[in-house]
Chains A and B, each alone.
Chain A
Amino acid sequence: MSSKLVVSTSPHVHSSFTTRKIMASVILSLIPAGAAGVFFLGFRSLLVIITCIAACVLSEWLWQIIMRQKRTVSDLSAVLTGLLLAYNLPPTIPLWMAVCGSVFAIIVVKQFYGGIGCNIVNPALAARAMMLISWPIAMTTWTVQGVSGPTPLAMMKLGNVAMSSATTTSTGYVMPSFLNLLVGNMGGCIGETSAILLLLGGAYLIWKEIISWRIPVIYILTTVILASLFGHGGHFPLYEALTGGLMLGAVYMATDYTTSPMSAKGQIIYAFGCGLLTALIRTWGGYPEGVSYSILIMNIAVPLIDKYTEPRVLGAPKSNFFKRMEAK
């Protein structure tokens, strides 16, 4: 034997999962929904997507050069952030605003806190929230097939919802049909329109064991059930699930590894909290839509949730929750 043997600690084999592969799978699963967005909302959507991705990747790359840090652009996380941010924007957004949002997401939300794995809130969502406050009109102008109008959720908020074109409401807007909501033929952000494709993407990720079913399923069910109980929008439980950013948020935003709890118990509490807040905001809040803020608020609660849901070590005495609270 000519060369030397490598000596290192166990284990000596490794699963094929890597950060980059996980990011790549998530991006792959997002492509169909984005394609639907481009199809229904027009070619400009594609331009917004490309702008966001380019701005995110470039700002991360430049930041790491300036700060003399290890370049981690190749882990694809910046690409994913850009993609998710674009999916949360209306297709008519001015491109310079999209660039501002991307830079904010990467530099302020991600890199200021230490880069990948260290941010306390989801970068894409925080950027969306920042943009919503800064440019409220540009962020809430929706058009579908050239006609601008409110989103289905905004209609539900207004309380004058007509179920078919035969019964137009006083405002003259028509609630999209169930089928249109499902495939995504409605006004809204680029990536959140097609519920069915987002669900398929989520199913793919669960099948690949990249995300667990817990957060999306519990989040969506909680929102639907509670919003119905609260009497939001005239009792259309399915509409509740298919409209606005709920699908995108529950499948892709709330499941972000870094900003969600690690233990199973923690994930259940977190998903329920997201669902509760979304239902509250949709029913009584000032905004028609509550997904972004719900997730952001629950993001901040994650360290606390993690602390109190640490799994019991095998063989450790079984203690009840309140005793543990006191001990801490």
Chain B
Amino acid sequence: MSQHIGAPCSAVVAKGDRVLVGQKIADTEAFVSAPIFSGVSGTVKAVEPRMTIAGSLDPCIVIENDGKYERAPGLFEPGHKPEPSEYVKIIRSAGIVGMGGACFPTHVKLSPPKDRVIKWIIVNGAECEPYLSCDNRIMLEQPDEILKGLEYVLEIFPQAQGVIAIENNKPEAIKILTERNKNPRITIMPHKVKYPQGAEKMLIWSVTGQEIPQVPALPADVGCIILNSRTTWQIWLALTCGLPVTERVISVTGDAVVEPKNLQVPLGISVRELIGACGGFNEEPLKVLAGGPMMGLAMRSLDVPAVKGTSGILALTKKTAYIAEESACIRCGKCVEACPMHLEPTLLDHAVRRRDYATFEAHGGMNCIECGSCAYSCPASRHLTQSYKNGKAAVMAERRKAAAAKQPAEVKK
């Protein structure tokens, strides 16, 4: 029930209820959140904690599929043409979140602070990680819908120009989108193939030449809003057909999978079923990941549901996902060259390991985007990214503690 960044939802259905495709099953009043819809029609079997992709027990709604796929009524009457002022509300009610993997609720992105002028709407077609190709498929198969979705967003921000940023290794997508685009406010911009091109800060830098100031600054601070291509498609679906998020395309791949595929599936489908649909495993996998190889989560079990942010399921064999033993840093500087945020990873790593979080913060550690480039390139196989995750968590915990210590003092006054 937490398929997004922000407040978790609570169930609006109960055990025994019959639900339809596109029927809202969970919601909340909180602003930074998004409702969840059923991907199938059938009966609610349970509302209980189950294992999720993150490997923890979280509240889930279990629905038995009756295979009929009966649809619930849409978000608005058929034939109704929504006004631009209604767009953000409809996007919220359709449960749209960043479908690239981060799952930040889209309506929040589209409601920037009043004093920020949005100049750029960037559609991220730079597939964020190696192995994944679901964004490429949707750009190839539904280019008109993506262009239309972007036009809707441009209607909300009359001063903005639209950019669809695509990496050079997808020439077909660049070609088809360039051919179909008739809107002078939209440009298709090819980019170098370079990980992590799909990361927000890198993409803004490539497209606009602007650097986002250090955390906690947001893209809106430099006049940008970034949307994943699937998110843009979802906006088209919601505003044209009045349909919420009930499906997504998932890349099921990796060298342990017999026949890697991009599958369009209802949300909530189990990972085991996805792998079964691709012919199962040809070799015992060492790791099964949700997401890509650089930032994905390693899963404990295959019996977990795929959710809005599941861009890929990646099964890797021992050969690919081999974990080498850590050895001493030889100061080769490969991590410094690799870091897209221009940090010095090895310095931060040493600071975290001696729990010197002040040094970690002073050298910009909180800016780490956890892309994994440093750990990938490290010849000593040091677990650099893991170090920064720990460091960032420790600093955040300290900040919370400091804030909590401050509050009672204010109350006393």
Contacts and interface: CB of A to CB of B under 8 A. Distances in A.
Contacts of B341: 313-315
Interface residues of B, number: 66
Interface string B318-351: 0011111001111111101100111110110000
A14 B344 contact: no
Given A18-B381, A312-B342, A12 B296 contact: yes
Nearest to A310: B344
What are the 3 tightest A-B residue pairs by CB atom distance, in nearest-first order?
A11-B372, A262-B333, A313-B364
A75 B367 contact: no
B343 to A, nearest CB: 6
B375 A11 contact: yes
A117 B350 CA distance: 13
A13 B336 contact: no
Contacts of B75: none
Contacts of A320: none
Given A2-B284, A12-B321, A310-B363, A7 B330 contact: no
7 contacts: A8-B287, A13-B321, A21-B379, A72-B328, A260-B331, A314-B341, A315-B367
B336 A5 contact: no
Contacts of A115: 328
Interface stretch (B83-91, B183-191, B207-215): B207-215
Classify the secondary structure of A's interface with B.
loop
B284 A8 contact: no
Given A11-B294, A314-B342, A6 B323 contact: yes
Nearest to A317: B213
Interface string A1-31: 1110111111111110111011000000000
A3 B364 CA distance: 41
A261 B55 CA distance: 41
A220 B400 CA distance: 53
Contact of B385 (A5, A11, A264): A11
B302 A314 contact: no
Contact of A14 (B211, B300, B324): B324
A232 to B, nearest CB: 32
Contacts of B281: 1
A257 B298 contact: no
Contacts of A117: 328-331, 380
A25 B328 CA distance: 19
Interface in A270-301: none
Given A314-B211, A314-B340, A315-B217, A9 B385 contact: yes
B76 interface: no
B324 A18 contact: yes
Given A2-B284, A12-B287, 17 more contacts: A1-B281, A8-B287, A11-B372, A13-B130, A13-B293, A14-B381, A17-B377, A18-B380, A21-B379, A22-B332, A116-B330, A117-B380, A262-B331, A263-B344, A311-B342, A314-B205, A315-B367
A6 B293 contact: no
A3 B284 contact: yes
Interface of B: 55, 130, 201, 205, 211-214, 217, 281, 284-289, 293-302, 314, 316, 320-324, 327-334, 336-337, 340-344, 346-347, 363-364, 367, 370, 372, 375-381, 383, 385-386, 389
A119 to B, nearest CB: 10
Contacts of B375: 11, 14
Interface residue range, chain A:
35 or more
Given A314-B205, A315-B211, A14 B376 contact: yes
A1 B302 contact: yes
Nearest to B341: A314
A203 B302 CA distance: 49
Contact of A10 (B302, B346, B372): B372
Given A18-B381, A262-B344, A313-B343, A6 B214 contact: no
A47 interface: no
Given A7-B55, A311-B344, A257 B293 contact: no
Contacts of A14: 322, 324, 375-376, 378, 381
Contacts of A72: 327-328
A9 to B, nearest CB: 4
A2 B316 CA distance: 16
